[in-house]
Amino acid sequence: MSERSAWVDYAKAIGVFLLVYGHVARGVFHAGIQIDEKLYRLTDSIIYSFHMPLFFFLSGLFFCGSLNKRGPTGVFASKVDTIVYPYLLWSILQGTLEAYLSSYTNSNISYSDVFALLWQPRAQFWFLYALFMIFTLATLVFSKAPDKLALPVFAASICAYIFQADIPSAFHLNFITNNFVFFVFGILLRRWSESDWLASKYLLLAAFAGFIGSQYLFHGLLGLSYVHKGGLSLWVALASILFIVALSKNLAKKPAAWFRLIGSSSMAIYLMHILAGSGTRIMLMDIFNINSGSVHLAAGCVIGIAAPLLVARLISRYRIPFVFSLPISRFTYDCYSRLFRKNAGASVPD
């Protein structure tokens, strides 16, 4: 594995740790299990101030490379395969199970809620819904001269983020205004993603200071939370992402296989961690009668990561198809290609 892939896997792993902990902690809190509420709310807001922007940033990091390699049609087709398909499959699987077990969980959803997934994403799957919207928009915007457009589009996306309260949120446009800026930040930073200065210990110290300073100002001095969107929240998110990049680059100097495994398995963990974490909480409460907040947090996080890794391992070992993606056939790709050529007059690579 290349150094580039290694540090990206580290960044994904850090994001996954934060994702799982955030959802487990929310489940524990809303189940009425005793934990320090003040600490919970502060930690929750810090995590949610940047951990999902981090994933949009990492997606944007490789967008231009994929666009140059596949062309607009190829990018769109590949995202139908790797985003739309798992969104549909796992929204139905998890949602149906949650509806069936609603009397044992914190949620009170119906089957009609589950099958409203085409216009109303729910649970963690909103990310895939938003990511597909962003990839589609980015493909349209950057289909020509992405290097020249990156900076002005980034400036426009900053404005859209800061003034998102004044932009209608119909048709989930808030997914664009709230997250596109981080995707484009990834497009911009890709030019320097292999630079030695990103792995500098001096940058790591400066980025850490920026992370602590921005979070302290935002949450401590100003008393704001992640729901307060604007210029300050954007600064907090970007400073935090830069810190995670610098940290990941430095951690990758001494690779740990288990850490990289978590990062490379981030999609499997993302798709299955809610079922694993919620199942752990239900078993601890209803079967073993354990109501310790620390036990729930620790067990939920460990199993929320370990169980999806085990399932992914079994899926790979026994070559079970169509779990995480639906490979698009050559016939389907050719249909996309012909349609694109007819409507746009552009060439599509083989």
pLDDT (tens digit per residue) in 125-176:
999 999 999 999 999 999 877 778 999 999 999 999 999 999 998 899 999 9
In a domain, 350, yes or no: no
Residue of 130, 125, 132 lying closest to 98 (CA atoms): 125
Q: Cβ atoms within 10 A of the Cβ of 316, count?
A: 12
The stretch 303-308 carries a mean pLDDT of: 98
Q: CB burial class (10 A; 0-12, 13-18, 19+) of residue 65? A: exposed
Question: Of 64, 22, 55, which is closest to residue 240 (Cα–Cα)?
Answer: 55
Over residues 219-234, the pLDDT tens digits come to 999 999 999 999 999 9
Residues 191/197/200/204 CA torsion (nearest 10 deg): -60
Query: Per mean pLDDT, which range of 48-52, 188-192, 279-283, 331-335 is the poorest?
Result: 331-335
Instruction: Report phi then psi at 13, rounded to 5.
Output: -65, -45
Q: How confident is the model at residue 349 (pLDDT cuts 50, 70, 90)?
A: very low
Please report the DSSP string for 146-163 in residue order: HHHHHHHHHHHHHHHHHT
Nearest to 138 by CA among 86, 84, 188: 188
The C-alpha atoms of residue 78 and residue 62 are separated, in whole angstroms, by 13
- Position 347 scores a pLDDT of 34
Q: What's the average model confidence in pLDDT over 343-350?
A: 37
Q: Are 124 and 274 in contact (CB under 8 A)?
A: yes
pLDDT cut 70: percent of the chain above it = 91
Secondary structure of 274-320 in the HEC alphabet? HHHHHHHHHHHHHHCCCCCHHHHHHHHHHHHHHHHHHHHHHHHHCCC
- Structure confidence at residue 101 (pLDDT): 79
Q: Is there a contact between 302 and 271 (Cβ–Cβ < 8 Å)?
A: no
pLDDT tens sequence across 68-109: 889 999 999 899 999 999 999 999 999 999 888 777 766 678
| 111, two tokens | 């089957």
20 and 301 in contact (C-beta within 8 Å)? Answer: yes
Tell me whether residue 79 is in a domain. yes
What is the number of structural domains in the chain?
1
Distances (CA, A) of 266 to 9, 17, 23, 108: 9, 10, 15, 27
pLDDT of residue 338: 53
Residue 329 is encoded by which pair of tokens? 């056939």
pLDDT of residue 197: 85
Tally the C-alpha atoms within 13 A of residue 119's C-alpha that lie toward its C-beta.
4
As a whole number of angstroms, the distance between CA 318 and CA 278 comes to: 26
The span from the CA of 147 to the CA of 101, in Å, is 49
What does the pLDDT average to over 192-202? Answer: 85
Quick one: which of 266, 197, 261 has its CA closest to 6?
261
> Tell me, what's the pLDDT at 192?
82
Output the six-digit token pair for 159.
Answer: 């404005």
pLDDT at 198: 87
Q: What is the pLDDT averaged over residues 4-16? A: 91
**What mean pLDDT value characterizes the chain?**
90
**Confidence grade of residue 340 (pLDDT, cut at 50, 70, 90):** very low
Closest residue by Cα to residue 261 from 198, 310, 324: 310
Q: Which domain holds residue 236?
A: 3-344
Q: Is 262 domain-assigned?
A: yes
Q: Of all helices (H) and strands (E), which one includes residue 210? A: helix 201-215
Q: Write down the pTM of the prediction.
A: 0.91
Say which residues have a Cβ less than 8 Å from residue 55's Cβ, sequence separation at least 6.
12, 15, 127
Residue type, 85: Y
pLDDT at position 91: 96
Report residue 332's pLDDT band, with 50, 70 and 90 as the boundaries. low
In Å, what is the CA distance from 64 to each residue of 72, 133, 173, 215, 334? Answer: 10, 16, 23, 31, 22
pLDDT of residue 321: 87
Answer yes or no: is pLDDT of 323 > 50: yes
pLDDT at site 341: 46
- For residue 1, the model assigns a pLDDT of 42
User: Quick one: pLDDT at residue 5?
Assistant: 72
Element holding 15 (H helix, E strand)? helix 3-30
Residue 343's pLDDT is: 43
349 assigned to some structural domain:
no
Please indicate, yes or no, if residue 333 is contained in any of the structural domains: yes
pLDDT given at position 106 = 66
CA angle 82, 57, 153 (to 5 degrees): 105
Task: Give the DSSP H/E element, type plus range, for residue 139.
Answer: helix 126-141
User: 17-21, 56-60, 194-198, 231-235: lowest mean pLDDT where?
Assistant: 194-198
